[in-house]
C-alpha cells in the first residue's frame, strides 16, 4: 500500500484518511519506507513521497523505527522465518515484527504475497483498492 501512496494513488490516500478518522492506527515501518524509496529509484519524481511521511503524521499514524540492538536482533529472527522464495524480505519482516509487537494487522492490497509465510500469528487484511 505504501508504494501506491508514494505513486499518488489518491483514492487509496483518501481511504487511509478515512481509516484514520475512524481511529484505526496506521504504522509505516522504516524498512518499508526505504524499500519504496529504492523502488522509485531514489528520487521522488511523482512528488508523493511526502504523502508516505504524512501517513505517520496522521492522528492515529505512527512511524515504525528500527530503534536499537534488540529491534535489529528481533528483525533478523523474523526475517529468518520469512523465506518465501529462499531469501528474506527485510521490509516484510519489519512489517510483521511491528504488527506482532503492536497487536495489529498488516494491511495490504495483495494478500497473496503473504501466503505461505510464517507470520508469527499476525493477521493480514486485504483491502480493495478504492479505484
Residue-level pLDDT at 88: 65
The structure's pTM equals 0.84
- Residue 46: is its pLDDT beyond 80? no
Question: Whole-angstrom Cα distance, residue 131 to residue 110?
Answer: 15
Q: What are the angstrom distances between the C-alpha of 68 and each of 44, 73, 97, 128? A: 29, 9, 14, 35
- Residue 85: is its pLDDT beyond 70? no
Residue-level pLDDT at 60: 93
- Residue length of the chain: 131
Q: Which domains does the chain have, with CATH numbers?
A: 2-126 (3.40.50)
What proportion of the chain, given as a percentage, has pLDDT over 70? Answer: 91
Model confidence at 39, pLDDT cuts 50, 70, 90, reads confident
In the block, residue with C-alpha cell 507470520: 119
Amino acid at each position: 500500500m505504501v508504494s501506491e501512496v508514494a505513486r499518488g494513488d489518491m483514492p487509496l490516500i483518501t481511504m487511509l484518511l478515512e481509516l484514520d478518522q475512524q481511529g484505526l492506527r496506521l504504522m509505516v515501518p522504516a524498512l518499508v519506507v526505504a524499500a519504496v524509496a529504492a523502488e522509485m529509484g531514489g528520487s521522488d519524481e511523482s512528488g508523493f513521497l511526502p504523502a508516505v511521511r504524512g501517513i505517520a503524521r496522521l492522528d492515529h499514524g505512527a512511524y515504525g523505527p528500527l530503534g536499537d540492538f534488540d529491534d535489529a536482533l528481533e528483525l533478523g529472527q523474523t526475517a529468518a522465518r520469512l523465506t518465501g522464495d529462499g531469501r528474506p524480505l527485510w521490509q516484510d519482516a519489519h512489517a510483521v515484527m511491528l504488527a506482532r509487537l503492536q497487536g495489529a494487522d498488516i494491511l495490504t492490497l495483495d494478500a497473496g504475497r503473504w501466503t505461505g509465510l510464517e507470520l508469527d500469528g499476525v493477521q493480514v487484511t486485504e483491502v480493495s483498492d478504492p479505484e
